[in-house]
């Protein structure tokens, strides 16, 4: 059984430069609801979002749920 969970956060989209809601689509990937751009969440003291494109690499992991 696959279990899907999602998170909606607010942040600054680097593509459209708007403060907007971002919908979690993977561990650290979010989609801007304003422009539809996929962005990656980076946490280094502050939370920032980086633009993701076809050249971006991501690693999928499978978490066990008890």
For residue range 1-42, what is the model confidence (pLDDT) as tens digits?
787 778 999 999 999 999 999 999 888 899 999 999 999 888
User: Quick check: 66 pLDDT over 70?
Assistant: no
| Domain boundaries along the sequence of the chain | 8-51
DSSP 1-66: -------EEEEE-TTT--EEEEEE-SSSEEEETTT--EEEEEESSSEEEEE--TT-----------
To which H or E segment does residue 4 belong? none
**Residue 24: per-residue pLDDT:** 92
Q: What pTM value is reported for the model?
A: 0.65
Contact assessment for residue 32 and residue 9, using Cβ atoms and an 8 Å cutoff: no
């Amino acid at each position: 059984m696959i279990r899907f969970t999602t998170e909606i956060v607010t942040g600054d989209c680097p593509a459209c430069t708007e403060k907007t809601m971002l919908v979690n689509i993977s561990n650290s990937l979010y989609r801007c609801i304003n422009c539809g751009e996929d962005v990656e969440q980076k946490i280094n003291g502050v939370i920032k979002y980086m633009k993701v494109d076809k050249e971006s690499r991501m690693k999928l992991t499978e978490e066990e749920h008890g």
